[in-house]
Structure 1
């Protein structure tokens, strides 16, 4: 039984090749992986076929596993609602982000060049549309690091303001006591 899901970002559709086997125009998912289990949990059942909009450029097909954990799977019509499709894309995005960050920092810790880390990631994760175009991952890392620096700056500025207010309070109390 196959169900389809819209995944808007090209890089995430490519990333699915790393997560699942691709056969007969469908990704075979299994409940023994976190992502597979999550996708299976988003499948809905109906006694009648459910009409859904279908964009062939943005959709992927998932072949559902034969499992006793989902007994109604092959007895009824299966589909993934639009809201659940967005949840799946969000979950795949989070999985991708975590995988990328871990891979990037491990590569940098090994003193590899940024270009080599990015190219290795692209090849190892089967991101075929990104081969020869590492700029998107480079920009993603830059934005991530910029966000972290901004958060650190804001925390430090808040700390300085609090300490400054405490110092002013002590000085005012001391001057009032004289």
Structure 2
């Protein structure tokens, strides 16, 4: 079964983004996919900011991405773009670091005004990393993910339907590319 990495760009450990990634992960795990998590914010800040390509943590993170068949890139949107911590990590991937991988973007923001962030901020960077198959992705608004008292999240029905459709398309693409 293909290996999928969920690369989170959230600097906040209790982000509503976790509700989205948990929903997607649950669906993928039910289908037998192996999931690995990589949180850009957990990498040493000094290694990211000073572009330490030879840092053991960066080398390990790059290895995780290299060994993946597909990558889900998840991020909150701040100032009409994905997070800086995600950008600094993407800058440290090898030039062809996403070559041959299927990528599914999952973004969340405070307003629908940031809907095109995936297309105008992320996709050009993914193309520069030789990603040839980028799924349409899903953009959610904060109000579509509720934090529950127990620390879990509840995803709105409409968002859940869009996430399920995106996962179905993603799985189809991953299986198609894995068969080649």
TM-score, normalising length from structure 1?
A: 0.29
- Report the structure, 1 or 2, having the larger helix content: 1
Max Rg structure: 1
